[in-house]
Amino acid sequence: MRQTPSGGARHGTAAADSGLMSIGTVLNVLRDEFPEVTISKIRFLESEGLIEPQRTPSGYRKFSAGDVERLARVLRMQRDHYLPLKVIREYLDAVERGEAVQLPVLGRQRDGEAVPAPRQAPSAARIGRAELLAAAGIEDADLQEWESYGLVTPLEDGLYDSEAVTVAALVSELGRFGIEPRHLRVMKAAADREAGLVDQVVAPLKRHRNPQTRAHAEDRTKELAALTVKLHAALVQTALGVRLP
């Protein structure tokens, strides 16, 4: 457990301390630099030990400025270097202990042989198969299985979009609870239907003769995607009878 500057444990600290932020506020702060970040992503990083926000007596998360900065560093290292979360956690913990450590270089062991890091960092928009495996901390056999169920799909050139890292990490995390990839086909089907609905709405904008109107289609797509994700989350919470902090 990381310690506060005064040496006390982070958990159990009074959430009324000045400067603490709710998870919604943290999301708004981070989205300026990381527009794709979600509350689920923040919770996932917490479950992986990357951050340890304080909790109110009722269980709500409260984040300090240091928590937010650490979150931003984690997201940058994922986006720019595609490092596994375990490596990121170990690196940041060493930095906080005051150790002189260098930023790890992407690479992993597979079948007894080291897979070298790329000469140049992959772009944030597209990554190769090796980078995806390293970023998600999974084996090639796992990825092949997930691809067979359509959970992760390569682009036409064989590369993957950056969101594939998030999908792979979440599929791996769900696996810890006994939820197998085959169980997730229903979620993939639901996502495809939701995407189809959004496409129907923005299709007239995409076909418009005015270039500005066509450009506006992308903004509208992002806006509708965000709304459908929020609705989906709310419906799942309602169905389960839970309220996530």
Model confidence pLDDT, tens digit, residues 59-96: 888 999 999 999 999 988 887 776 777 788 888 888 88
- With CA atoms as reference, report the closest residue to 168 among 141, 144, 146: 146
Token pair belonging to 125: 């928009």
Residues of the chain predicted below pLDDT 50: 1, 3-16, 107-124
98: left (phi over 0), alpha (psi -120 to 50) or beta: left
- Taking only the tens place, the pLDDT of each residue in 119-149 is 333 444 578 888 888 877 788 999 999 999 9
CB 169 within 8 A of CB 44: yes
CATH architecture of 23-96: Orthogonal Bundle (1.10)
82 by DSSP, 3-state: which? coil
Residue span(s) of the chain under CATH 1.10.1660.10 come to 23-96, 107-179
Among candidate residues 180, 194, 122, 113, the one with its CA nearest the CA of residue 151: 180
CATH hierarchy code of domain 107-179: 1.10.1660.10
Model pTM above 0.75:
no
CA–CA distance, 56 with 27 (Å, rounded to integer): 18
